[in-house]
Amino acid sequence: MKKMMTKIAMGLGLSIALVACTKDEETIVIPVSAITVKDLAADTVTGLGLDGRPQSAGTTTYYSLVDNKVVASTDAASTKWDIAFSSTKILINGGTSGPGIGGAFVYVGLFDALKTIPADSNFSTDNSNAASFAIPLGSGKAWYTYDGLTTLVSPIAGRVLVIRTATGKFAKIEIISYYKGGVTLPASASVNDKLFKQRYYTFRYAYQPNGSKTF
Amino acid sequence: MKKINCLILFFGLLQTAQLSAQSRFVKDTLDANGDSVVVTATRTERKLSNLTVPVTIINAKTIQQNGSLRLTDILKEQTGINLTSGFGAGIQLQGLNPDYTIILINGEPLVGRTAGVLDLNRIALGNIKKIEIVKGPSSSLYGSEAMAGVINIITDASMGSPMTVGLRYGTYNTVDANLETKLQTKNFQYQGFINSYHTDGYSIRPNSNSRVRTPIERYSTTQQIKWELSSKTNFVLNTRFTNEQIQNEIAVSNNGVTIYSIGKENIKDLNASASLNHRFSKNLKTSLRTYTTTYDALQNLLTINGLPYRDVLNHNFKRIENQTDLDLNKKIQAVFGIGAVWEGVKSSRYDSEKLRKQNDIQYAFTQWEWKASEKFTLIGGVRFDKNTQFASAYSPKLSMLYKLNPQHQFRLSIGQGFKAPDFRQLFLDFTNAAAGSYSVFGSAQAQQVIARLDALGQIGNLFPNYNLLKALKPEYSNGMHFTWDWKINPSSALSLQLFRNDIKNLIESQQVGTYISGAQIFSYLNIGRAFTTGFEVEGQHKFNANWSMNGGYQYLRTGDKDQIAAIRSGTVYTKNSQGYSRLMKLNEYVGLPNTSTHKLQVKINYNSPKGYYLNVRAIYRSRWAVNNNNGNEVFDNGDVFASGYVAINSAAGKSFKNGVIIQGGIDNISNYIDAANLPNLPGRTFYTSIKYELQKINKNKIK
């Protein structure tokens, strides 16, 4: 078992190294520069349960879009974070999820093409049911689809998460990948890879600190 | 006596044989353009060369020499036909799913589809005289389901040996045994056929006990009686009974947990038809036909955690029909038909297995053939189906033949086909506890059922298409086929066919959500508008008396018109290699899933005068889309494909003068395996067979 874990770790190291070579250069045209966050762990899998479902500690990873860094979970009840991740669930600091005034909606279109958030946009806030969160949880509902045959989570093309931060500023996010390495695994990937490489978010975002809805 | 023998050949086809017709043989020739007689295209006997629509004939000799056991074996080697897997082995004709091709045995439809698929492995080929394939909408004659085409399996074999026995043994303990007997007197013919088939099944997944093809015991028997009551009247009776026992040992992995189920599945399939045919005069004949069929499937499984799983399907179909053929003059011939169908399904897959869902149809059709000249023939036909469950349907068809000269013939046909939503698409309420607990709900009640499950907290996710579920509409297809046949010289022929089918209200099963467990939930949707279009080229060449070659190629494009419109309007996105979204371009669209752009098959044949024969058949199918993995619900180059592949089959044998034929063969010589996408293609398999045809006894002795 130990040997196997070592092998997996080596594999992961290799894939990270590969990704590091293909750094994105996506920052020129946008006035507010886009930032890419790589392999953000979000309640990663520790093993396989007897029920056949992936096991994990049930943690949530809190993130500050303002500071571009992870916020300690001890600050969950503060406005230091804007968005949080726990497996496929995305929380926004507001409503039932936090004390902030955050909200969000899913924009259908391209990240770069969203220059100004439409005036009639309707930001939702999190409530008690994850399926009707600001970013609703579920395959095909917001940012991903889950395929029961390949057991892969794939970000839906052309979806931008438009975020109102905990303090009322605006940001836009495109989720790139749910798998370690920043690329969705191929359908042919091993069961082990599909299990242990999931729940690593790679996304790009643009944050407008001046409070306007224009990026 | 000889004359009667020749005539017998045609009975049982559609039981409309002309009693006074000039006798002629259907030659078992490799040249499918020979002047065979075809019944499927017009529901009357016509010479192949006089037909206005393209028809493919597969004759008994081809079936025998290819070593084909089941109907699927021979169909997958035909131009424009691909085998589908899932719910048995069905066929895709010119890019259209198995539900759009009606399968007839001696002119009467087979029932018992699972998820729209008739498992064509049910049909043994041992006593088949020939198979006729008509491509293009034929609803004007056959009603619902004849949208992509018609495959008519003709078991008439009144000619030939009074007794034939055959035995074949192959890989996976596959044993196939046949016994065929015939009895002929002056006014009476009988043909009986018994087939027994056994296979151990096979597993092509590594490290797995579960069988991709399960162990099967299958018996089928057909009986045919033809009785000439007078020189103008005859009576034909056909029965067919198949009983199959499938040993299930299913291992299903869901999220890493494997559930084993063991149990038995029993399928009984009974068909019986009777027809009374009378010729009033040289110009007028009529036939009264009745047909009844029942398909009974019972699956009893025990899952390893002790939960029983039971699945029952009972489908019956009864029909009575009258067809009258009237020759107004030498140039104009008319066909009139009228009939009624009573069809019902009981299934544990519906809300209650005790309630029979019933659909009754009354229909009438007519067809007029105008032989304007030696060169030009025009056929127009229309059928009207009145349905108790759905709106009425008109199915018109117009087709024409132009014989430019003996070398060149042109055919054009335009027709509309339809397919009513079937029982399953409306009423299915099915959860497969044995295989990963996935569910399929008929469209009519899917939203209700899923809402009820949601209230119980069982639903994990619902996809956007869940909101699109509503009452299904019948599907319509407009098809156009243009064919050019070119007889280059006595040993070479070429034909080109252009086709296009435009389909409205296409119904497809789609995943609409998942359970909390992750298991999938499916339902049926009118996907909207789609098309399949392309061309087929078929050619054959005889090198000399011994060697010949034939082949066919299909180029196919398919698409969902609404998706294409969305791509054009710039609202469909895809991902680039880095995972960033971008607009999808039209040239990235690959069309409908499970359709391949290219299919090619080539066959090389050797036949010696001494009875030796050899053939090598290669089939190529290009990649096809199986899964969408960028969430845009449109299949593009970035999605998951099954790889293209080549399968090579070969058979060789010798026919001895005393009636013995020995044969050996290898299928899938290159051992191509794709367990996920081609479960019906085992690895390399071998077989050997022996057949004995009792030589003809002097007829007087039988009398």
C-alpha dihedral (B580, B584, B590, B593), degrees to nearest 10: 70
| CB-CB contact of B439 with B519 (8 Å) | yes
The pairing of beta strand B188-199 with beta strand B174-184: antiparallel
A6-15, B304-313, B601-610, B670-679: least confidently modelled range: A6-15
* Mutation target among A29, A30, A53 for the B interface, most CBs of B within 10 A: A53
Percent of chain B with pLDDT over 70: 87
Collapsing DSSP to helix, strand or coil, A12 comes out as helix
Q: How far is CA B219 from CA B166, B224, B270, in A?
A: 14, 17, 12
- pLDDT for B568 beyond 90: yes
The model's pTM is 0.82
Q: Among B252, B253, B254, B255, which would you mutate to test the A interface (most chain A Cβ atoms within 10 Å of its Cβ)?
A: B255
pLDDT by residue (tens digit) across B247-291? 776 655 554 555 566 778 899 999 999 999 999 999 999 999 999
More confident residue, B633 or B659: B659
Q: How far is CA B35 from CA B45, B379, B593, in A?
A: 12, 20, 38
Sign of CA dihedral B372, B377, B382, B383: positive
CA-CA-CA-CA torsion sign (B575, B577, B582, B586): negative
Q: Considering only alpha carbons, which residue of chain A is nearest residue B437?
A: A148
pLDDT tens digits along B511-542 = 888 888 767 788 888 877 899 999 999 999 99
Look at strands B438-441 and B520-542 and give their pairing: parallel
Interface touch B574/A157, C-beta < 8 Å: yes
pLDDT score of B27 more than 90: no
Nearest in space to B273 (alpha carbons), one of B258, B288, B285: B288
Does the CB of A142 have a partner CB in chain B at under 8 Å? Answer: no
Q: Categorize the per-residue pLDDT at B508 as very low, low, confident or very high, splitting at 50, 70 and 90.
A: confident
Let me know: does B129 contact B137? Beta carbons within 8 Å.
no
Domain ranges of chain B: 2-702
Tokens representing A167 are 């303090």
Q: Is the pLDDT of residue B584 over 50?
A: yes
* Residues in chain B closer than 8 A to A145 (CB atoms): 463, 628, 631
Residue B514 touches chain A, beta carbons under 8 Å: yes
Q: For residue A93, what pLDDT is reported? A: 95
CB crowding B19-46: b at 16 or more within 10 Å, else e? beeeeeebeeebbbbeebbbbbbbbbbb
What do you get for the CA distance between the two ends of chain B, in Å?
12
Query: Residue B549: its pLDDT value, please?
Result: 97
Evaluate if residue B153 carries a pLDDT over 60.
Answer: yes
Are the Cβ atoms of B461 and A52 closer than 8 angstroms?
no
Report residue A6 as tokens.
């070592």
**Assign residue A9 a region: left if phi > 0, alpha if psi is -120 to 50, beta otherwise?**
alpha
Say whether pLDDT at B464 is over 70.
Answer: yes
Of the listed ranges A55-69, B300-314, B415-429, the least confidently predicted one is B300-314
3-state DSSP assignment of residue B5: helix
From residue B124, alpha-carbon distances to B167, B196, B240 in Å are: 13, 9, 11
A181: left (phi over 0), alpha (psi -120 to 50) or beta: left
Q: What is the pLDDT of residue B434?
A: 54
Q: Which of B241-255, B582-596, B642-656 has the lowest mean pLDDT?
A: B241-255
Q: Does any CB of chain B come closer than 8 Å to the CB of residue A27? A: no
Q: Which of B77-91, B190-204, B308-322, B586-600 has the highest mean pLDDT?
A: B586-600
A111: nearest CA partner in chain B? B581
Instruction: Identify the closest residue of chain A to B522 by CA–CA distance.
Output: A148
- Whether B40 has a pLDDT exceeding 70, the answer reads yes
Q: Do B581 and A159 touch (CB under 8 A)?
A: yes
Q: Do B580 and A48 touch (CB under 8 A)?
A: no
**ipTM for the predicted complex:** 0.78
**Confidence at residue A52, expressed as pLDDT on a 0 to 100 scale:** 63
DSSP at B276: E
Rounded to a whole number of angstroms, the CA Rg of chain A reads: 17
Question: How would you label B50-60 residue by residue, b for 16+ Cβ within 10 Å and e otherwise?
Answer: bbbbbbbbbbb
Residue B258 CB partners (closer than 8 Å, separation 6+): B251, B252
Question: CA B21 to CA B282: how far, in whole Å?
Answer: 9
pLDDT of residue B251: 57
Pull the structure tokens for residue B396: 């018109």
Virtual torsion, Cα A189, A194, A200, A205, nearest 10 deg: 50
Instruction: Read off the amino acid at residue B319.
Output: R
Tens-binned pLDDT, residue by residue, of chain A (215 aa): 444 444 444 444 444 334 444 444 444 444 678 999 999 999 999 987 766 678 899 999 999 999 999 999 999 999 999 999 999 999 999 999 999 999 999 999 999 999 999 988 999 999 887 777 899 888 878 999 888 777 889 999 999 999 999 999 999 999 999 999 998 888 778 888 988 999 999 999 999 998 899 98
Give the other-Cβ count within 10 Å of B65's Cβ: 22
Write down the pLDDT at residue B638: 79
Of B465, B580, B627, nearest to A150 by CB-CB distance is B627
CA angle A99, A156, A113 (to 5 degrees): 80
Two tokens, residue B82: 């691909």
| d(CA B434, nearest CA chain A) in Å | 16
Calpha distance A58→A53 (Å, rounded): 13
Sign of CA dihedral B100, B101, B104, B107: positive
Structural contact between residues B221 and B196, judged by C-beta atoms closer than 8 angstroms: no
H-helix or E-strand containing A173?
strand A170-179
Instruction: For residue range B164-221, list pLDDT tens digits in order.
Output: 999 999 998 999 999 999 888 888 889 999 999 998 877 665 444 445 567 889 999 9
> Is pLDDT larger for residue B403 or for residue B122?
B403
Query: Which residue in A132, A154, A160 has the most chain B C-beta atoms within 10 A of its own C-beta, making it the best mutation to test that interface?
Result: A154
pLDDT of B422 strictly over 50: yes
Is the pLDDT confidence value at B702 over 70? no
The SS3 of residue B142 is helix
Q: Tell the CATH topology of B2-702.
A: Maltoporin; Chain A (2.40.170)
- Separation between Cα atoms, residue B689 and residue B661, nearest integer Å: 8
Q: Has residue B442 got a pLDDT over 80?
A: yes
User: Could you tell me if A174 and A204 are in contact, meaning their C-beta atoms sit under 8 angstroms apart?
Assistant: yes
Flag whether pLDDT at B697 surpasses 80: no
Q: If contacts are CB pairs under 8 Å, which of residues 532-591 in chain B contact chain A?
A: 571-575, 578-584
Q: Place B18 in a pLDDT band, splitting at 50, 70 and 90.
A: very low
Shortest Cα distance from A58 to chain B (angstroms)?
17
pLDDT at B581 over 60: yes
Q: Is the pLDDT of residue B436 over 60?
A: no
Residue A174, beta-bridge partner list: A204
Q: What are phi and psi of B443, to 5 degrees?
A: -60, -35
- Name which of A31-35, B257-261, B492-496, B601-605 the model is least confident about: B257-261
Predicted confidence at residue B527, as pLDDT, reads: 73
- Judge residue B360's burial from the number of C-beta atoms within 10 Å of its C-beta, 0-12 exposed, 13-18 middle, 19 or more buried: middle
Q: Which helix (H) or strand (E) holds B109?
A: strand B108-109
B417's tokens: 């086909």
Report residue B48: phi and psi, to 5°.
-55, -40
Span B62-71, pLDDT tens digits: 999 999 988 9
* Helix/strand/coil for B23: coil
Q: Which residue has the higher pLDDT, B479 or B17?
A: B479
- Which of A83-87, B339-343, B433-437, B563-567 bottoms out in mean pLDDT, i.e. has the lowest? B433-437
Q: What is the pLDDT of residue A21?
A: 42
Scan for tokens 């809190």, then name that residue.
A62
- d(CA B89, nearest CA chain A) in Å: 20
